[in-house]
Amino acid sequence: MTKTTGTPPAVSFTGAVKTYGTVRAVDGVDLRIARGETVALLGRNGAGKSTTISLLLGLIEPDAGTVELFGAPPERAVRAGRVGAMLQEARAVPRVTVSELVTFVAGRYPTPLPVAHALELAGIADLAGRRVDRLSGGQTQRVRFAVALAGNPSLIVLDEPTAALDVEARRAFWDSMRAYARRGHTVLFSTHYLEEADAHADRILVIDRGRIVADGTGEELRRSAGGNLVSFDLAGRGTEGLTLLPGVRSLEVRGDRALLRTDDSDATVIALADLGAIRGLEVAPASLDDAFLALTSRAMETV
Ligand SMILES: Nc1ncnc2c1ncn2[C@@H]1O[C@H](COP(=O)(O)OP(=O)(O)OP(=O)(O)O)[C@@H](O)[C@H]1O
C-alpha cells in the first residue's frame, strides 16, 4: 500500500525479532506504517508493545530482521529530530519549570514548535511556570506529551499515553493528538483500551505474544472476528470439550462464565442444551472487545 510513491514509509519492520532469554518478546514482525497514518498498537500486558516501541526508537537492536524509520536506521531518524516519543517511565527533572524543560528539549531539534504552542497543544499553558517535580501524575503525563511534541517531529510515538489521565484529561489529550495528526504527522500509540484504539486510530494493530495477529480498522477487526458470542454460567462444571462444540472458534472464561465465540450460534446452543449447560445462557453479537479477546485468546491455539 505504501510502495507506490517510492517514498519510504514512516515505519518499516521486516521480520523483526527480539528475544529475552526464552521469551520472544517480538517474534517476526512485518509492518509498514505510511506517513500521516495514526496507528494504535493494542495488546494485553506483556504482549510486546513496549519492546516493539523500543525497537522502533532504536533503543534496542533486533536479534534478527530490520527496523527502519523513513528508510533509515532508527538512530538516524531520531538524531535528525524526526521522531518524538512519550515513554512509560517518567523521571522528573528537579527544580526545572515546565517551560524551561520544553524549551530545552525544543532547542535540540532543527525545526521545533514555538514553546508556547507546544504547551498549548498539550493543554498545559497554565502550568508553564510550575516545577516539573511538583506536578500530579496526570499533569506530568501532559508535560511528557509537550516534550514529545516540542521538536515538531514527523513521527510521534506514545507508549500508553493516557494511563494516568482522568476522563477529562483523556479527552483533552486525544483532541491534541488528533490536532497534531491532522497536520500530516504520523502517530503510533500503544494502549490497552479498545475504545481508544477504535475512536482515535485510522488503523489498529493487535499484538499477541510478540506477533501481529490483526491489522485493520476497528470495523474490519469486528468483522474478521465475526460471529456471535454465546455465554453461560459454568456453575462449577469444567470447560473440557467446549471448543470442540459445533461452530465454536474460541473459548474465554470470565469468572464463572464461559464465553464461546461461534460461527453458528444455533448449533452451539443446541449442543450446549444437550450437555445441560444452559444456565444463564445468552447470545449476543460480537463487539470489538470480543473480537480482541478472540484474537488474543490462549484458547485460539486449540481451535
Ligand atoms: N528487559 C527485559 N528483560 C526480560 N524480559 C523482558 C524485558 N522486556 C520485556 N520482557 C518480556 O517480553 C515480553 C513483552 O514485554 P513488553 O514490555 O514488550 O510488553 P507490553 O505489551 O508492553 O506489556 P505492558 O502492557 O504490560 O506494558 C514480556 O513477556 C516481558 O516479560
CA of 33 to the centre of ligand 1 (A): 22
C-alpha cell belonging to residue 75: 538512530
Do 169 and 248 sit in the same domain of this protein? no
Q: What is the CATH number of the domain that holds 264?
A: 3.30.70
CA of 15 to the centre of ligand 1 (A): 19
Which residues, at least 6 apart from 257, have a Cβ–Cβ distance to it below 8 Å? 231, 232, 233, 234, 280
Pocket of ligand 1, candidates 13, 19, 20: which has the most ligand atoms within 8 Å of its Cβ, to mutate? 20
What is the tens place of the pLDDT at every residue in 174-223?
Answer: 998 998 899 899 999 999 888 889 999 999 999 999 999 999 998 888 77
Number of domains in the chain: 2
Q: What angle do CA 70, 75, 78 make, to 5 degrees?
A: 70
Residue 5 lies in a domain: no
Q: What is the CATH number of the domain that holds 158?
A: 3.40.50.300
Report the C-alpha dihedral over residues 34, 194, 174, 218, rounded to 10 degrees.
Answer: 50
C-alpha cell belonging to residue 60: 534496542
Mapping DSSP onto H, E and C, the string for the chain reads: CCCCCCCCCCEEEEEEEEEECCEEEEEEEEEEECCCCEEEEECCCCCCHHHHHHHHCCCCCCCEEEEEECCECHHHHHHCCCEEEECCCCCCCCCCEHHHHHHHHHCCCCCCCCHHHHHHHCCCHHHCCCEHHHCCHHHHHHHHHHHHHCCCCCEEEEECCCCCCCHHHHHHHHHHHHHHHHCCCEEEEEECCHHHHHHHCCEEEEEECCEEEEEECHHHHHHHHCCEEEEEECCCCCCCCHHHCCCEEEEEEECCEEEEEECCHHHHHHHHHHHCCCCCCEEEECCHHHHHHHHHCHHHHHC
Residue 292 lies in a domain: no
Among positive and negative, which fits the CA dihedral 179, 180, 182, 188? negative
Burial class (CB in 10 A: 0-12, 13-18, 19+), 273: exposed
pLDDT band at 1 (very low <50, low <70, confident <90, very high): very low
pLDDT band at 155 (very low <50, low <70, confident <90, very high): very high
Residue 3 lies in a domain: no
Do 146 and 279 sit in the same domain of this protein? no
What is the tens place of the pLDDT at every residue in 225-248?
Answer: 667 889 999 998 999 999 999 999
In one letter, which amino acid is 251? Answer: L
| HSE-up (13 A, CA, CB side) for residue 20 | 8
| Model pLDDT, residue 226 | 65
- The residue segments making up the domain with residue 253 are 227-285
Q: Is the pLDDT of residue 172 over 90?
A: no
Do 21 and 114 sit in the same domain of this protein? yes
Do 217 and 276 sit in the same domain of this protein? no
pLDDT band at 90 (very low <50, low <70, confident <90, very high): low
| ipTM of this complex | 0.96
Residue 107 lies in a domain: yes
Do 42 and 109 sit in the same domain of this protein? yes
CA of 220 to the centre of ligand 1 (A): 27
Q: How far apart are the first and last CA of the chain?
A: 31
pLDDT band at 92 (very low <50, low <70, confident <90, very high): low
Residue 127 lies in a domain: yes
pLDDT above 90 covers what percent of the chain? 67
Residue 211 lies in a domain: yes
| Model pLDDT, residue 250 | 86
Do 180 and 45 sit in the same domain of this protein? yes
| Model pLDDT, residue 297 | 66
CA of 78 to the centre of ligand 1 (A): 23
Do 275 and 188 sit in the same domain of this protein? no
Do 211 and 236 sit in the same domain of this protein? no
pTM for this one? 0.80
Do 154 and 48 sit in the same domain of this protein? yes
Residue 193 lies in a domain: yes
C-alpha cell belonging to residue 65: 530482521
Residue 143 lies in a domain: yes
Domain limit, last residue, from 222, 248, 266: 222
Which residues, at least 6 apart from 111, have a Cβ–Cβ distance to it below 8 Å? 81, 151, 152
Pocket of ligand 1, candidates 17, 29, 51: which has the most ligand atoms within 8 Å of its Cβ, to mutate? 51
Do 248 and 149 sit in the same domain of this protein? no
Do 114 and 130 sit in the same domain of this protein? yes
Computed over every residue of the chain, the mean pLDDT equals 89
Do 111 and 218 sit in the same domain of this protein? yes
Q: What angle do CA 37, 51, 79 make, to 5 degrees?
A: 65
